Every structure is written in structure tokens, then in C-alpha cells.
């Protein structure tokens, strides 16, 4: 009887038990990779059982029949090969590019496994006693098992390097495989240590932490799956080549809920929404964005039933701080592959649909109209990127009439796409929001600023009576902490004094400390600052009081109703507003002046500047210079 030493097996058993406990108590994403990982765990458990069994049978050789001992060892060798083979299948399932392994390659990679099994079943095994203290198995079956398992491990390494998974996850796999190869080498040359089970469990633990850790794909706030899990399942479903629906549910007013009721109540709302969606046919629900859930439906009948339930629930109220509150929310339904053909397109079109939801419809099925709109915006983004990279923008200048000096003393710089090709005419009102949404507005703003400074320095416009040029800043630019320094760098590059620029900020820009600081720094540097589109979407009075503006530009939508002589209230409001702004020491410009009647009315109300088609359309650089020379030299 030999010494029974199973300390390595017990250590391996602890590793596997911890993994198994965490794996079984956690939610699983419904992917092939997850199912194949279960097979890896099962094979590992069987291997540990066989490992412990062989330790017992070989240390009790005097009482255990030789046939039973050999059967136990052959089972152990087969279980080792099964663990490595199942691990290879799992690695193939992780490939985000293919989803499933190539059948021919898979068949070829089965050969080493089959050879290992055949060797374990039919080749010779014998047992060696070492100083009557240790006993272990030897023979052709052992050598062949290590040889063919080694080939499988090399295939795993090659597959890991080739497949599309994050680099850090590849490193975890390769570390696990490297540890097990090291263990196999030690086991082969020091056969009495019996380390294979421990090596397998360590490899399993590293892979589990990298890929199957529930924390990696669970949203802890709602208990649903997260975006990582959604993308994994989406990728797999796409490769199944079967049509399916994606249903996304967006809480449109989540920010308003946070502002009014606080984060705790918004979290409770998200949890309540998650529980409701999960109750619909026990669907696996995913947190797609902070304000959006998503789940899959495999047939149109189920989708229709689910949408009816969603439509009914979203039409009701939610209890927040003990009171029933109507919260704006909607659902979008995307049929794959009707209008999207890969993960990126799915995500982009769902985002587009959520931003262009039809008012009053709780459930919106993404149709050709929506898909065409998404395609149009995608092409517009590509057009803008090309224009940014290849100087595809022109700057036009719209003259602004100074009533006190009775001539044109300034102009507003307006950007235009110079070459839209077959795309057709694109208004700045259309492409500026798209540029802001896609992170292009800063580059476009820098292009405009440089072109304006180049125009100013190259044409001596001050000699023509032009005191400054107005340059628009988007809401994204105005909160960029580097904006004042960037402006000063461009001014210095073109030797343009800072007072030649007056920057405009839209009334719709969100007020923030960053914005206030930037306005102060820009004005301190010598440039002016205007608030444009005043009155377009509501009162900007708080912006006037909180930030220093040199000019307030009244929007056309505020001015035009006041010209209706039957609408006396509108006229009184405009007159009072102009008087109040003038009392604050701020000059006033009126935009969108299209007729002589409008001009006369605004002059009577006391504005300082007039801008609009009645005076001039936006002009190219050359035509603007001609216009100013013609009109300012005449003093008109």
C-alpha cells in the first residue's frame, strides 16, 4: 500500500467548486459559447473524479484488481483529452467574426482528439513503483495521450491568436494554456506529482474570469443583461441566418425624472420597467443604454403580442414618490435583416429611430421611410467627414446693417458645403445637428474660424468699414475648456486682432459653468459675444443675466408675429423686451428681416442692427467685398 496524496486534486476541486457555484447561481446569456462552457465544466468535473479515482486505485494496487486500475487510468486519459477538446470548441464559439467554426477545419481538429481516445483505449499501460512510496502509470498510452493533447493545445493557441476577441482576453486564454502546458511537461518528467487536474482547473478559472464571469454581462442596477451581453447574443443570432425582431424600449424622459425625483426614483423606475419587460413571455431583457432596454423575438406573432402589452403599459402611469406620474416612453421594433445587416447597422438604426420617434406613437415599427432617413443621415455623415478632410466647406458672409452709422459695419459668417455631388442641396440647419451628434462640429468650427481669419487678414475689411465678423459657436464648442486658447492660437497665426471677431451662441445652448467661464475668457481677450436666435424656443432671460453679452439677436419667429397689427399683445411684448435689453446696456440686432415693413417697424422699436434678405443674402467672399464697396462707399 502506497501513500495516498491528493492535495493537488483537492486544490483543483476547490477551484472548480468555486467556479461551479458562481456559474450555477448566476444568469447565463443564451449563446453557443455559454453552452459549450458548460460542457467544459462537466468534462473538468469528470476529469477530477477520474483523477481522484486513479489516485486511490494506484495507491491500493494490492487490493484493487489490475483490470479495474487500468480502466480507471484509461478513463482519466480520455477525460483529459475531452477537457482539451471541449475547450477548443469553446474557443471557436467565442469568435465574434464567425459565430461558429469552419466545418472542415473542425473535422480536421477532431483527429488529434480521436487519436488520443484511441491511444487511451488500446495502447499499453503499466504501473511503476518508486521506492515503495509512489506509484504511477507509464506506457505507450501515456506517451500518446500527452503527444496528441499537445497537438490540441497548439491548435488552441493558433485559434486564439486568429479569432476576433479583445487582446486582454486572448492573453488570459494563452496564459491558461501556457500554465497547463507547463503542468503537462512537469507531469511527464515527474510522473508521481499528478498535476494535470490542478493545471486544468487553473486554466478553467482564468477563462471563466475573462469570459464567463456574470459581472461582465450583468447590469447590477436592474438585474438584466447589459450591452456587452446584447452584442454577444446579437452577433450569434445574425449568423444563424434566421429572421428575428429586436424590440427596444426607450424612456424618453429619464433625465426629467432624475431632475424632478432624483436618482433613486429613476433607478426604481428602470427596475420596474425591467421587471415588466421580463414578465413578457419570460424574455431575456438587456439594458441597451442608460435609458433603453432591448430584447429579441423570434417570430412576428410573438412580437405583435408583446407590442400590444407594451403599448398598453406605456399608456399608463408609474408611481414615483408615491404619486402616479405619466412618463414619456416608446418602443421601436426592428426586423432583422430587413433594414440592417450587421451589429453596427443594428445599433445605429436603433439609435436613429429613437431620436426620430413619431410623436404620440408608443410603438414604432422601423419601416422603409425610417431606414431611408437613416441611410440619408449615414451618407451625410460620410459627406461631412470627407468635407472635413478635404477642405469641402465654403464660408459665406451676410452683411449686417448698422442703423446708427447708416452702413454695413459687420457680417455673419455662414458655413456652406461646397460640393455635395449627387447628394443635393444640404442646409446648415440639417447638417450642423448631424455634425454635433457625430463629433464633427469641433473640426468644422475650427475650419470656419481659420477661413474667417484668413479672409479678414487678406482683405483689409476694416478699410471698407467692417468692424467685426460674427462667428457661430455650437453648444458643443462653447463648453470645451480649450476653446479660448484655440481661438487665440488661430488669431495669432493670422495676425488678426481679437476685436475683429464677435462670437455667437444659440439661445438653445445649455447653460453651464464651463460656458460662463469660456464666455468670460473670450470677452476678456478682446472679442465680443452675442446671443442669437433669442426668442426662438423660449425665454433666454437667464442667459442674459448670467452671462455677459454685447449683442442680443432677436429671432425671426419672435419678430414676425409683432407685425400683425391685430396682434397688439405681441407688439407690446416685443417693444417691452427691446426696451428692457437696451436698459441693460446691450445692443440689439434683428434677424430674418425680409421686407421694408419689418425693417421700419424694428427701427421704430429701437433695434441697433438689421440682418436679413431685405438687405442681402449670404454672399461668397468676392461678392461680399463687392457689395460692401458698392454700398458703404455710397453711404447707403
- Band of residue 502 on the pLDDT scale cut at 50, 70, 90: very high
What pLDDT score does 497 carry?
93
Q: What are phi and psi of 549, to 5 degrees?
A: -120, 145
- Band of residue 636 on the pLDDT scale cut at 50, 70, 90: very low
DSSP helix/strand/coil, 587 = strand
Please report, rounded to a whole number, the percentage of residues in the chain having pLDDT higher than 70.
Answer: 89
**DSSP notation for 360-396:** T-SEEE--HHHHHHHHHHHHHHHHHHHHHHTT-EEEE
pLDDT at 481 > cutoff 70: yes
What pLDDT score does 4 carry?
53
Beta sheet of 244-251, edge-to-edge order:
286-289, 292-297, 244-251, 329-336, 363-365
Does residue 337 have a cis peptide bond before it, meaning omega lies within 30 degrees of 0? yes
Higher-pLDDT residue of 532, 144: 144
pLDDT at 564 > cutoff 80: no
Higher-pLDDT residue of 29, 298: 298
Q: How far is residue 579 from each of residues 278, 300, 572, 573, measured CA to CA in Å?
A: 58, 62, 11, 10
What pLDDT score does 100 carry?
44
Scan for cell 459581472, then name that residue.
Answer: 215
pLDDT at 574 > cutoff 80: no
DSSP helix/strand/coil, 340 = coil
pLDDT at 508 > cutoff 80: no
What pLDDT score does 485 carry?
92
pLDDT at 26 > cutoff 80: no
pLDDT at 598 > cutoff 90: no
Beta bridge partners of 138: 126
| Domain residue spans of the chain | 7-214, 227-366, 391-632
Higher-pLDDT residue of 485, 633: 485
What pLDDT score does 537 carry?
52
Q: How far apart are CA 553 and CA 400, in angstroms?
A: 11
DSSP helix/strand/coil, 207 = helix
Average pLDDT over every residue of 258-285: 87
Please report, rounded to a whole number, the percentage of residues in the chain having pLDDT higher than 90.
Answer: 25
- Does domain 227-366 sit in CATH 3.30.70.270? yes
CATH C-level class of 391-632: alpha beta
Average pLDDT over every residue of 255-282: 88
9-23, 70-84, 329-343, 542-556: which has the minimum mean pLDDT?
542-556
* pLDDT averaged over every residue in the chain: 84
The pLDDT tens digits for 512-558 are 678 888 888 988 889 988 888 776 555 455 566 556 678 888 877 77
- Does domain 7-214 sit in CATH 2.60.40? no
What pLDDT score does 179 carry?
84
What pLDDT score does 169 carry?
80
Higher-pLDDT residue of 198, 610: 610
The pLDDT tens digits for 98-131 are 544 556 667 777 899 999 999 999 999 888 777 6
What pLDDT score does 103 carry?
67
Write the DSSP symbol of residue 322.
T
Average pLDDT over every residue of 501-516: 76
What pLDDT score does 357 carry?
76
Inter-residue long-range contacts of 542-546, CB under 8 Å, 24+ positions, other chains counted: 542/511, 543/507, 543/511, 544/581, 544/584, 544/586, 546/511, 546/516
Average pLDDT over every residue of 201-212: 79
pTM of the model: 0.69
Cα–Cα nearest to 89, from 35, 44, 46: 35
The pLDDT tens digits for 66-95 are 899 999 999 999 998 999 999 998 888 887
What pLDDT score does 398 carry?
95
Residues in the chain: 636
- Most confident among 203-212, 325-334, 348-357 (mean pLDDT): 325-334
Amino acid at each position: 500500500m502506497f501513500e495516498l496524496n491528493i492535495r493537488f486534486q483537492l486544490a483543483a476541486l476547490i477551484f472548480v467548486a468555486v467556479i461551479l457555484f458562481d456559474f450555477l447561481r448566476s444568469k447565463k446569456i443564451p449563446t453557443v459559447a455559454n453552452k459549450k462552457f458548460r460542457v467544459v465544466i462537466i468534462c473538468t468535473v469528470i476529469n477530477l473524479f477520474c483523477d481522484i479515482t486513479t489516485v486511490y486505485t494506484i495507491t491500493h494496487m494490492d487490493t484493487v484488481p489490475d483490470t479495474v486500475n487500468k480502466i480507471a487510468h484509461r478513463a482519466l486519459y480520455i477525460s483529459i483529452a475531452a477537457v482539451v477538446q471541449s475547450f477548443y470548441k469553446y474557443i471557436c464559439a467565442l469568435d465574434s467574426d464567425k459565430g461558429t467554426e469552419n466545418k472542415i477545419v473542425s473535422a480536421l481538429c477532431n483527429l488529434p482528439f480521436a487519436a488520443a481516445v484511441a491511444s487511451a483505449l488500446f495502447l499499453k499501460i503499466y504501473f511503476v513503483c518508486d521506492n515503495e512510496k509512489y506509484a504511477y502509470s507509464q506506457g505507450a498510452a501515456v506517451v500518446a495521450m500527452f503527444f496528441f493533447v499537445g497537438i490540441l493545445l497548439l491548435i488552441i493557441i493558433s485559434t486564439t491568436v486568429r479569432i476576433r476577441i479583445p487582446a486582454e482576453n486572448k492573453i488570459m486564454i494563452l496564459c491558461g494554456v501556457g500554465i497547463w502546458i507547463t503542468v503537462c511537461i512537469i507531469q511527464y518528467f515527474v510522473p508521481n506529482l499528478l498535476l494535470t487536474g490542478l493545471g486544468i482547473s487553473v486554466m478553467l478559472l482564468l477563462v471563466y474570469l475573462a469570459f464567463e464571469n456574470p459581472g461582465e454581462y450583468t447590469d447590477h442596477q436592474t438585474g438584466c443583461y447589459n450591452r456587452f451581453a446584447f452584442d454577444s447574443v446579437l452577433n450569434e443570432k445574425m449568423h444563424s441566418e434566421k429572421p428575428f425582431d429586436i424590440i427596444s424600449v426607450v424612456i424618453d424622459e429619464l433625465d426629467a425624472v432624475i431632475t424632478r425625483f432624483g436618482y433613486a426614483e429613476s433607478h426604481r423606475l428602470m427596475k420596474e420597467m425591467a421587471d415588466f419587460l421580463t414578465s413578457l413571455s419570460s424574455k431575456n431583457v438587456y439594458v441597451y443604454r442608460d435609458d433603453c432596454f432591448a430584447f429579441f423575438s423570434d417570430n412576428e406573432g410573438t412580437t405583435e403580442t408583446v407590442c400590444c402589452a407594451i403599448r398598453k403599459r406605456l399608456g399608463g402611469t408609474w408611481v414615483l414618490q408615491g404619486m402616479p406620474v405619466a412618463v414619456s416612453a416608446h418602443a421601436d421594433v426592428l426586423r432583422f435583416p430587413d433594414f440592417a445587416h450587421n451589429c453596427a447597422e443594428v445599433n445605429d438604426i436603433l439609435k436613429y429611430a429613437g431620436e426620430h420617434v413619431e410623436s404620440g406613437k408608443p410603438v414604432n415599427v422601423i419601416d422603409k421611410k425610417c431606414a431611408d432617413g437613416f441611410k440619408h443621415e449615414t451618407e451625410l455623415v460620410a459627406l461631412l467627414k470627407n468635407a472635413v478632410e478635404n477642405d469641402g466647406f465654403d464660408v459665406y458672409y451676410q452683411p449686417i446693417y448698422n442703423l446708427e452709422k447708416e452702413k454695413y459695419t459687420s457680417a455673419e459668417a455662414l458655413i456652406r458645403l461646397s460640393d455635395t455631388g449627387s447628394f443635393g442641396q444640404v442646409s446648415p440647419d440639417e447638417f450642423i445637428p448631424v455634425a454635433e451628434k457625430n463629433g464633427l462640429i469641433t473640426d468644422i468650427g475650427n475650419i470656419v474660424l481659420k477661413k474667417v481669419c484668413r479672409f479678414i487678414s487678406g482683405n483689409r475689411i476694416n478699410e471698407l468699414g467692417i468692424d467685426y465678423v460674427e462667428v457661430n459657436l455650437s453648444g458643443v464648442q462653447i463648453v470645451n475648456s480649450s476653446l479660448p486658447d484655440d481661438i487665440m492660437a488661430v488669431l495669432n497665426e493670422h495676425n488678426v486682432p481679437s476685436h475683429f471677431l464677435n462670437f455667437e451662441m444659440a439661445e438653445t445652448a445649455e447653460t453651464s459653468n464651463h460656458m460662463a467661464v469660456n464666455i468670460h475668457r473670450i470677452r476678456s481677450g478682446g472679442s465680443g459675444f452675442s446671443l442669437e436666435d433669442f426668442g426662438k424656443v423660449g425665454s433666454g432671460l437667464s442667459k442674459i443675466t448670467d452671462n455677459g453679452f454685447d449683442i442680443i439677436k432677436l429671432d425671426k419667429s419672435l419678430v414676425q408675429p409683432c407685425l400683425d397689427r391685430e396682434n397688439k399683445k405681441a407688439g407690446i411684448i416685443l417693444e417691452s423686451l427691446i426696451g428692457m435689453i437696451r436698459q441693460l446696456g446691450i445692443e440689439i440686432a434683428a434677424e430674418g428681416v425680409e421686407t421694408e415693413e419689418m425693417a421700419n417697424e424694428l427701427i421704430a422699436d429701437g433695434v441697433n442692427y438689421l440682418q436679413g434678405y431685405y438687405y442681402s443674402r449670404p454672399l461668397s467672399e468676392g461678392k461680399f467685398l463687392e457689395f460692401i464697396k458698392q454700398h458703404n462707399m455710397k453711404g447707403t
